[in-house]
Amino acid sequence: MEYKIYLGTVIEVKKGFLQGTFKIMYCGMPNQNTFVLSPFVTKGYQGFSPNIYYNIDSTEIQVFDHSFDVLEVTTEYIILGD
Per-residue pLDDT for 56 more than 90? yes
For the chain, the average pLDDT equals: 90
Q: Domain residues for 17?
A: 2-81
Total structural domains within the chain? 1
pLDDT digits (tens, 9 = 90+) for 18-48: 666 789 999 999 999 999 999 988 888 888 8
What's the pLDDT score for residue 20? 67
13 vs 16, 30, 57, CA distance in Å? Answer: 10, 24, 23
CA–CA distance, 52 with 24 (Å, rounded to integer): 11
Alpha helix (H) ranges present in 1-82? none
- From the list 9, 16, 17, the residue with the least C-alpha distance to 82 is 16
Give the pLDDT band (50/70/90) at residue 17. low
